[in-house]
Structure 1
């Protein structure tokens, strides 16, 4: 049995939109590129044809990947969070008083630059199941980092 893919409703919607775009718009663009390359003649040394073929394989591989992910998707619904769980927003404070807000999402939605961390990451794992007021310590290469949970809310 394949591993389930945990997604927020927003993450599921984004993957569906990407899949739809690849199957419709992107396939049509690639088809047009093939037609243009065929008009150029000899395919043995036709860079346009080679590029269209590469784009087609990449597109089809991504379509297969998305279909697989979506077939295994488990959508995490928002609820009331009295403890940190997948699909929640966590407000944290460091020992130095710095505040940060992180969303706990499945690994396929994680994007640290958008403030979304995976439930499988070291910090995500340490936060799961904790409550407001709990202190979490993460040990890493740069030493220990301590966070206090200030607030837990749905995404």
Structure 2
């Protein structure tokens, strides 16, 4: 049984676009590579054929996994979310109490996480530790190298 995952409309569109790309462009390309390799003769000693079949298998597995994610994906209705506490899609400004560094993050679903863009997964240790907190709270988050303390400075959408 797969777990439901929540996405923004933009994140869900990216997943659908990726699936369409894999099905409409990559799948025919893999089939053509197999056909070309098959035309080259004896299949028992044809490394190119074996590689093309393996690549096709990996592609089909990726398509299957994406279809499963999409089947269990739900779009988050931002208008229904409480803006007073940290939830999925909250934009937070936090201050590391150890070094005084202030950081801005948006909490997103696993598939949309991108640390370089300031998007962290709600399932990451920091994301989990921030969920449900409000402005002024101090989140004590257990990470592999100890405990981090973050003061919540701002919460917005």
Tell me if TM exceeds 0.5.
yes
Matches of 1:46 and 1:89 in 2, distance apart? 54
Matches within 5 A, 1:94-105: 94-95=96-97, 96-105=99-108
How far does residue 22 in structure 1 lie from its aligned partner after superposition? 0.5
Q: Which secondary structure state, in structure 1, belongs to the residue aligned with residue 66 of structure 2? A: helix
Q: Which residue of 1 aligns with 2:66?
A: 66
Change (3 A) 1:141 1:34: closer
How far does residue 23 in structure 1 lie from its aligned partner after superposition? 0.2
- The TM-score normalised by the length of structure 1 is 0.87
Q: Which secondary structure state, in structure 2, belongs to the residue aligned with residue 20 of structure 1? A: helix
The superposition leaves residues 66-94 of structure 1 with CA deviations (integer Å, 9 ceiling, x where unpaired) of 11111111111334622111122212111
Q: Does 1:120 find its partner at 2:144?
A: no
Q: 1:146 pairs with 142, 149, 153, which one?
A: 149
Q: Does structure 1 conserve the Cα–Cα contact (< 8 Å) formed by 2:125 and 2:143?
A: no
Matches of 2:143 and 2:59 in 1, distance apart? 38
Q: Which structure features the higher share of helix residues? A: 2
- The TM-score normalised by the length of structure 2 is 0.86
Count of paired positions: 154
Q: Which residue of 2 aligns with 1:133?
A: 136
Gaps of 5+ in 1: none
Gaps of 5+ in 2: none
Matches of 1:141 and 1:66 in 2, distance apart? 30
